Structure 1
Amino acid sequence: HALDNGYDTLLTCGGLQSNHCRATALVGAQLGLHTHLLLRGEEPAEREGNLLLDHLAGATVSCYPKARYVAEISDLFAYWEAQYAAQGRRALAVPTGGSDGIGLWGYIAACEELVEDFARHAILQAHIVTASGSGGTQAGLTLGAALHDLSAAVWGINVCDDEQYFLDKVARDIDDLRRRYPDVPACDTQTRVIDGYVGAGYAVADAEIFTLIGELCRLEGLVLDPVYTAKAFAGMLSEIKQGRFEGVRDIVFVHTGGIFGVFPQRAGFAA
């Protein structure tokens, strides 16, 4: 989208350890686009995890105190867009998590892969479970499953906010896609949110989450992160025990990455 429409800069936002921002910085480097990240929080003295990769990828990083970030993020986008325009450049404003009608195409495409996976493993019916943080992954999977006729219910386990927020956010993102791309076939979608696993707050994990990360790493060689995937995986295990998914043999957990976010929270593994 950026290349097709003459943009030379990607402008996006997130937390200091945002996976989305790191991915944007790396993709920008691959495509020859400058990336400017607006990050929530004070830049630490030592760079690590995603923040280190942001800088290695050559991104411009602007850090803002949490209160200012929350209150002024729209104004900050407008300010930097204007600054680049004054230099004769074009900056594409990408929302948190890339969660809008454009960003949804990533996980709609993932559903094409799931169609092949379902056929390869003889999965006739399934539940698809994912972490939901900005809503785009869940919205893309929800619409993609419907468009590709997957016999699967998509569940988002929220790691921030609450159920109603994500019911509304997923609906807005799908509506945004349909406005941008009116030729997308009509289909029925149902948004499903499992609330109750945020814990003490976004990016705040308790000892049980760190224990789960360690156990799964030892048992399966699979690395979860304490912000998104571990909370969603813990929620999925709890819901399995409570019987939410009874009657369906296959549960597909979508691992959304975040391994670099493990390192800044290494102290949690020593607790």
Structure 2
Amino acid sequence: MHSHLGKLPRFDLVEGCTPIERLSRLEQKLGYEGCPPIYVKRDDLMGIGGGGNKLRKLEFLIGEALNQGCDTFITTGARQSNHARLSAAASARAGLSCELVLTDTVARDDEAYRRNGNVLLDDLFGAICHRRPADVDALAVAQERAEQLSAKGRRAYVVGSGGSSPLGCLGYAVCAEEIIAQEKDLGLRFGRIILPNGSSGTHAGLAAGLKAAGDEPGRIESFTVLAPIKKARAVTIDLAVRTLALIDPASAFVEGDIVVTDGQLGEGYGVPTDAMFEAVKLVARSEGLLLDPVYGGKAFAGLIAAIREGAWPNEEPVLFVMTGGLPGLFAYELAFRQN
């Protein structure tokens, strides 16, 4: 681990490295002569709260909250936020109270979306949920709530959507080191590392980690699932620069180091697409693996489209970072039954 990372407060939420697996059956199902070897980094396989990529960020965020003597963890997200659910679970593990400011960002109002999936689990983990309309500044609400708690002698730690602060992004700088080590063990090098881009923290952290290790962050390609491409790219670059400054201030990104792609966003965040449905069903029926409909499903649809278009050299293995989000499938029950 980079020396700077080892000095920061950290609360253990991830047990060891997550495995990398080859999807040979999927390669056969795709049936393209030019199909590259496809691997997945199983960041859905983490024990706490149903698992998922946000736990890597929460190790540093919860660690800092505890180091500051906080008793409450407050964060924001959409109604079906994976980050919110895992914040609630991680807070329970750490002995912190958890409060969530959840906005109705996605225009869905069926019963499964309102009551099942992450919403069910937020309550189960004991979080206090503050529900707000889509146009409300959730972070401002969270900060106001922290001030209310402070007036009562409490101390709250506040972080925004996705836990994607530079500190939170360090979780994926650690993951970058993991991937480099696993490549050596496997005797291969991934030509592309593919992932979804929501709040941009996973991509930013991986890019910073690879850059600090003297590797090539330009082999990471994320598909925006939240913001229009111009904004997604700008946010990712800014966050990656600030994250790199925490671990290797002497390094700097150059042109081509941050690659964010569009084409899979569809009508917007959390709005299903035909390509997403196809990707989720294809991976489930060929490999028995479950992608979520909001993040992984859309990004994997982008991976499939790129392979079909012959966009990547067929001799270079591709790694997909499987970020979790399984409870989202239950929230989208109606959408899957209608498709």
- TM-score after normalising by structure 2: 0.74
The residue number in structure 1 matching 2:90 is 27
Q: Which residue of the other structure, out of 77, 90, 94, is the alignment partner of 1:14?
A: 77
Match of 2:176 among 100, 105, 111: 111
Map 1:41-80 to 2 at 5 A.
Answer: 41=104, 47-67=115-135, 69=136, 72-80=137-145
Runs of at least 5 residues in structure 2 that lack an aligned partner in the other structure:
1-63
Contact 2:194 2:222 in 1 (8 A): yes
**Within-5 A mapping of 1:187-198:** 187-188=252-253, 190-198=257-265
State the SS of the aligned residue for 1:157: strand
Alignment TM-score, normalising by the size of structure 1: 0.91
Correspondence for 2:232 among 148, 166, 183: 166
1:170 alignment partner AA: T
Q: Which residue of 2 aligns with 1:101?
A: 166
Residue number among 91, 96, 103 corresponding to 2:156 in the alignment: 91
Does the aligned pair in 1 maintain the 2:278–2:301 contact within 8 Å? no
Question: Is the 1:129–1:252 contact (alpha carbons within 8 Å) kept by the matching residues of 2?
Answer: yes
SS of 2:332's equivalent? helix
Match of 2:68 in 1: 5
The CA deviation string for residues 112-153 of structure 1, in whole angstroms up to 9 with x for no partner, is 210121012211352111000000011011111112234561
Distance 1:233 1:160 in 2: 15
Is 1:140 aligned with 2:208? no
C-alpha deviation, 1:8, in angstroms? 1.2
Structure 2 residue 251 is the aligned partner of structure 1 residue 186? yes
State the partner residue of 1:211.
Answer: 278
* Deviating more after overlay: 19-28 vs 187-196: 187-196
Is the CA contact (8 Å cut-off) linking 1:139 and 1:170 kept in structure 2?
Answer: yes
Q: Secondary structure at the match of 2:67?
A: coil
1:170-225: CA deviations, max 9, x gaps?
A: 2222343356x376552435110111110121101134422321221111011011
**Where does residue 193 of structure 2 map in the other structure?**
128
3-state secondary structure, aligned to 2:319: strand
SS in 1 for 2:194: strand
**Cα 1:178–1:147 shift into 2, 3 Å:** closer
Contact 2:208 2:243 in 1 (8 A): no
Is contact 1:207–1:268 with CA below 8 Å preserved after alignment? no
Deviation at 1:161, TM superposition (A): 1.6
Deviates more, 1:117-126 or 1:153-162: 117-126
SS at match of 1:232: helix
Instruction: Decide whether aligned partners of structure 1 residues 208 and 247 sit closer, same or farther in structure 2, where only a CA change above 3 A counts.
Output: closer
Residues 185 and 6 of structure 1, relative CA distance in 2, 3 Å threshold: farther
User: Secondary structure at 1:38's aligned position in 2?
Assistant: strand
Please tell me whether the aligned partners of residues 126 and 251 of structure 1 are also in contact (alpha carbons under 8 angstroms): yes
Task: Using the TM superposition, give the Cα deviation of residue 41 of structure 1 relative to its aligned residue in structure 2, in angstroms.
Answer: 2.3
**Structure 1 residue 257: deviation in Å?**
0.6
CA distance in 1, matches of 2:278, 2:241: 39
CA distance in 1, matches of 2:302, 2:322: 14
Amino acid at match of 2:151: A
Structure 1 unaligned spans of 5+: none
Q: CA 1:109/1:146 → structure 2, altered by over 3 Å: closer, same or farther?
A: same
User: Residue 158 of structure 1 contacts residue 198 of structure 1 at CA under 8 Å; is this kept in 2?
Assistant: yes
Change (3 A) 1:49 1:182: closer
SS at match of 1:104: helix
Distance in 2 (CA, whole Å) between partners of 1:123 and 1:251 is 10
Alignment of 1:221 onto 2:284: no
- Equivalent residue for 1:200, pick from 267, 271, 274: 267
Greater RCO structure (CA 8 Å; 6+ sep): 2
Asked if 1:177 is matched to 2:240, the reply is no
Give 4+ residue runs of structure 1 displaced > 4 Å after superposition.
42-46, 182-185
The RMSD of aligned alpha carbons is 2.1
Partner Cα distance (1:183, 1:202) in 2: 33
Aligned residues: 267
Farther-moved stretch of structure 1 (112-121 vs 224-233): 112-121
Aligned equivalents of 2:244 and 2:191: distance in 1?
Answer: 26
- The one of 220, 238, 247 equivalent to 1:154 is 220
* Alpha-carbon contact 2:221-2:260 (below 8 Å) kept: yes
Q: Distance in 1 between matches of 2:290 and 2:262?
A: 23
One-letter amino acid matched to 2:221: W
Query: In the aligned structure 2, how far is the partner of 1:183 from the partner of 1:209?
Result: 37
Q: Deviations over 1:19-66 (max 9, x none)?
A: 000111000000001110000129987631111111111111000122
